[in-house]
Amino acid sequence: MRTNWKLTGLILLSTLGLYSCAGPATSPSPVVWAADSAAVRVVPGPQYARGTTWRAFFGQHYRTWWNTPVTVPVLRLATAVPGGLLPVQAGGSYQSHTLRLQGPDGRQYVLRSVDKDMSAALRPGWKKNLLRALLKDQTSATQPYGAYPAAYLAEAVGVLHANPRLVYLGADPDLGKFRAAYSNALYLLEERPDGDQCGVASFGQSPNVVNSAHMLAALRRNPGNHVPARAYLRARLLDLLLGDWSRREDQWRWASFPQAGRVAYRPVPRDRDQAFFLFDDGLITRLVSWFAPKYQTFRGPIRLENVDGLTRTARALDRTLLTSLSAADFREVADSVRKALGDAVLARAFEMGPPETRAAIAARFVPILRARREQLPAVAQQYFELLNQEAWLIGTDQPETFIVSDTKGGNLRVCVLARRAGRPDSLLLDRTFAAPGTKSLELYGLGGDDRFELRGALPGSIGVRLYPGLGRDEVRTQPGAIAGDVTWFARPDGLGSSPPAGVQAEADPHPELTSNAHAWLQRYNLHD
């Protein structure tokens, strides 16, 4: 905490001193309209033009591209789609300024501002008031046209995606009450990933695209509901390739596909605002990146020690959805993604976007992506090792059986089965965890009457933590079993059986998070 205060103080003092010598940011440049008013020529971010001293402390970032005039088509709401588009809801998550639009067929689209405001992520208070201008300036660390190559590369590796289009929105009369707040700015226009998307191939023609809260609740409601782990891993490796560190739960949508008695959810990453992030090229911003590891700069090659910071914002989601995959699975998916991203694919990814910046962006980014692509197997291995230090195995509000048994070599095998009355149990997961890579296994029963079975001589090198949740749960040991390092975290209400000899017993420190599926959802950032 002291270090953070010292860092904040350093930033504040530097900012106040630099404001006195840097001068104000450039005022907005005029918009030049084409003769037919179908396009404009505009500078996306003239406010990010700064002097030498300022750039030395707070980074050059992508200021050159933010200050390069680009030619952009004008969006006319009345003719954007057959029947026109009408604005229905204003919004914005953290940094973006967004406007939801709807066509006459009920399909919805979203306008997301190209310019952002990083200060919007701060809580109101004195620090926000003092740092607002500085954090707004740090929008220049984002690549203004990064959504284009991100969508193309997603298509190449089989990850679902939206299809962004850069547009300029003038003082369109069809904006109605939104005219004052949304006129005369650059936006990305794309399909809104929500609801029935049977007609959109890039959303998998899903009959229902849902948010993360819906998907996570569905996983805990029915043991058969699932996210194909390899599909999610492909999306996460693409995040690493792009240097996109901002992948919290509300940055995802999920294309649902009903099957016999269950639903599969494929990931749809959205809001590529932080792809190709360039942050550590200033004295102060480099110091910030040391104390806030998630702010990783897009460079080639990827430093393996930076995988932790790059993946931190999605850590809870990763541990929820990737536990079923082994190191071999990670390696195979990484090899598949690497092979899908040939040199020609990387080059074509930068053939879209404003013509004035395409060549410069491609010349800079394609070599970096080549280097990062070749690293994917090593990065995936590092990623696997990071996640498996502490592994989560999560039940549902239905009854399950968790079987923990020893294997040769001091490893632990865990099988999770759905208990079905009158029918054979159904296997949900079968994974072997090895020491010293795995330090702890956390098994969460949540709701339902769950059973935890300990078989054989369990090694003490891997800590096993059993959280029974809200139900009449029990833990059993076979005759002759050795519990090793196993702890039963009892609920304060006393429900469930007492642990057998050899199993440590402690009070659950956070029963409000482990009691059932509803409680479990509090572990995620679901504030859309």
Report the C-alpha gap between 449 and 468 in whole angstroms. 9
Q: What are phi and psi of 461, to 5 degrees?
A: -80, -15
Q: Of 21, 114, 111, nearest to 68 (Cα)? A: 114
Q: What is the pLDDT of residue 408?
A: 77
Q: Where are the alpha helices (DSSP H) in 243-314?
A: 283-291, 307-311
- The interaxial angle of helices 229-242 and 147-157, nearest 10 deg, is 140
pLDDT (average), residues 343-351: 97
Residue 4: pLDDT band (50, 70, 90) is: low
DSSP 513: H
Strand order in the sheet with 208-211: 208-211, 252-259, 262-269
Bond prior to 511 in cis (omega within 30° of 0): no
pLDDT (average), residues 78-88: 96
Q: What are phi and psi of 144, to 5 degrees?
A: -65, -20
Q: What is the pLDDT of residue 129?
A: 67
Least reliable range by pLDDT among 113-122, 272-281, 381-390: 113-122
CA distances to 50, 236, 289, 295 from 244, rounded to whole Å, are 25, 9, 15, 9
In tens, the pLDDT along 462-493 reads 999 999 998 889 999 988 888 889 999 998 87
Residue-averaged pLDDT of the chain: 91
The pLDDT of residue 20 is above 50: no
Q: What is the pLDDT of residue 384?
A: 98
pLDDT (average), residues 122-150: 84
pLDDT (average), residues 490-515: 86
Residue 423: pLDDT band (50, 70, 90) is: confident
Residue 401: what residue type?
A: T
Report the C-alpha gap between 12 and 9 in whole angstroms. 5
Q: Are the C-beta atoms of residues 467 and 393 closer than 8 Å to each other? A: no
Q: Of 77, 136, 70, 68, nearest to 103 (Cα)? A: 77
Q: Output the six-digit token pair for 158.
A: 């089989």
Q: Output the six-digit token pair for 36.
A: 């037919």
Q: What are phi and psi of 358, to 5 degrees?
A: -55, -50
Mention every residue, 6+ apart, whose C-beta is less than 8 A from residue 14: 57, 284
Q: What is the pLDDT of residue 99?
A: 96
Let me know if 293 is exposed, middle or buried by CB neighbors in 10 A (0-12, 13-18, 19+): middle
Residue 394: pLDDT band (50, 70, 90) is: very high
In tens, the pLDDT along 118-135 reads 766 666 776 666 778 888
Q: What are phi and psi of 376, to 5 degrees?
A: -55, -40
The pLDDT of residue 10 is above 60: no
Report the C-alpha gap between 41 and 70 in whole angstroms. 5
Residue 319: what residue type?
A: R
Q: Are the C-beta atoms of residues 245 and 310 closer than 8 Å to each other? A: yes
The b/e string for 132-146 (b: 16+ C-beta within 10 A; e otherwise) is: eebbbbbbbbbbbbb
Q: 3-class SS at 398?
A: coil
Report the C-alpha gap between 503 and 415 in whole angstroms. 19
Let me know if 363 is exposed, middle or buried by CB neighbors in 10 A (0-12, 13-18, 19+): exposed
The pLDDT of residue 197 is above 70: yes
Q: Of 417, 388, 392, nearest to 402 (Cα)? A: 417
The pLDDT of residue 205 is above 70: yes
In tens, the pLDDT along 28-67 reads 668 999 999 999 999 999 999 999 999 999 999 999 999 9
Q: What is the pLDDT of residue 121?
A: 63
